[in-house]
């Protein structure tokens, strides 16, 4: 086997149980890491024992709100495991909404929702551990068919109106871009980069869910033709602006990782989700 020069060259990936897992596993293997993909349940039930020469990537918190208890238990189990470095994937949700400026990494979390408190609780479990990095991500638009992209395309295919927020803004993250960033961080963790810190990542440009939806409709029409009917409906204003835009300067300064537009590669993402959602259930 060709030696990559990474020290260590083994990654234990605690999966999210959705599209993130395959993208991370393939991306890490493509650059030469040996990857062991585990579920949070395998970790918490004692079916896995890490070695000191292992990098752990913990995506368990990205599994959705219904799985946050298991994700927190996975974080607690990781505290008893040896590892060279641990990269924990978290969310902009640890902050409340309605921020007019970008949220820097040194701003104190102040979650305004139960989901945000769950994200923060997972971070706090790991905060006292050595060699732990936390990567907070902008809203994840395509990790499952219940996320924004899948919800929009499913509504369009079923001919149903799709109600979207046209007020709150964020800098979203696609699964493909998430994998790019995580792989790049892991390569550098295995090559002598700092092994602890808090980082943010979101796309270079911001949007509301409605703006994103209009762009998706344009991509679907480019594939189906201009006669494709689509109805996007703005949610009634509630007075609740939940805008959260992450500043990503520290990730750039420490790892040299540049932000990309959420529009980059969107046509291909739409094609893949159309194929997935149109596939007959077996």
Domains of the chain by residue range: 10-277
Is 10-277 a domain of CATH 3.40.30.10? no
**Furthest-apart CA pair in the chain: how many Å?**
58
Instruction: Give the model's pLDDT for residue 138.
Output: 95
Cβ count within 10 A of residue 39: 19
pLDDT in tens, 91-127: 999 997 666 689 999 999 999 889 999 999 999 999 9
> Each residue of 11-39: pLDDT tens digit?
999 999 999 999 999 999 999 999 999 99
The confidence score (pLDDT) of residue 1 equals 43
Give the number of residues written for the chain: 282
Looking at per-residue confidence, does 231 or 198 come out higher? 198
List the Cα angle 57/12/77 in 5-degree steps. 75
pLDDT tens-place string over residues 141-188: 998 888 999 999 988 888 889 999 998 899 999 999 999 999 999 999
């Amino acid at each position: 086997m060709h030696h990559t020069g990474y020290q260590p060259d083994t990654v234990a990936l605690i999966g999210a149980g959705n599209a993130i897992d395959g993208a991370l596993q393939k991306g890490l293997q493509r650059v030469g890491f040996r990857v062991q993909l585990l579920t949070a349940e395998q970790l918490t039930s004692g079916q896995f024992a890490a070695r000191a020469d292992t990098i752990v990537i913990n995506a368990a918190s990205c599994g959705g709100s219904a799985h946050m208890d298991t994700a927190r238990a996975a974080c607690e189990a990781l505290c008893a495991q040896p590892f060279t470095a641990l990269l924990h994937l978290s969310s902009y949700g640890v902050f409340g909404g309605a921020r007019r400026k970008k949220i820097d990494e040194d701003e104190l979390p102040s979650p305004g929702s139960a989901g945000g408190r769950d994200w923060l609780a997972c971070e706090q479990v790991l905060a006292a551990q050595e060699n732990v990095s936390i990567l907070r991500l902008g809203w994840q638009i395509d990790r499952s068919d219940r996320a924004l992209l899948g919800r929009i395309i499913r509504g369009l295919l079923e001919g149903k109106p799709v109600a979207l927020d046209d007020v709150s803004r964020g800098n979203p993250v696609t699964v493909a871009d998430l994998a790019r960033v995580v792989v790049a961080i892991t390569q550098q963790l295995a090559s002598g980069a700092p092994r602890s810190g808090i980082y943010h990542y979101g796309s270079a440009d911001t949007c509301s869910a409605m703006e994103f939806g209009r762009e998706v409709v344009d991509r679907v029409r480019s594939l189906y033709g201009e006669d494709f009917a689509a109805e996007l409906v703005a949610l009634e204003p509630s007075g609740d602006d939940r805008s959260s835009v992450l500043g990503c300067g520290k990730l750039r300064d420490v790892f040299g990782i540049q932000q990309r537009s959420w529009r980059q590669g969107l046509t291909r993402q739409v094609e893949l989700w159309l194929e997935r959602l149109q596939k007959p259930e077996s």
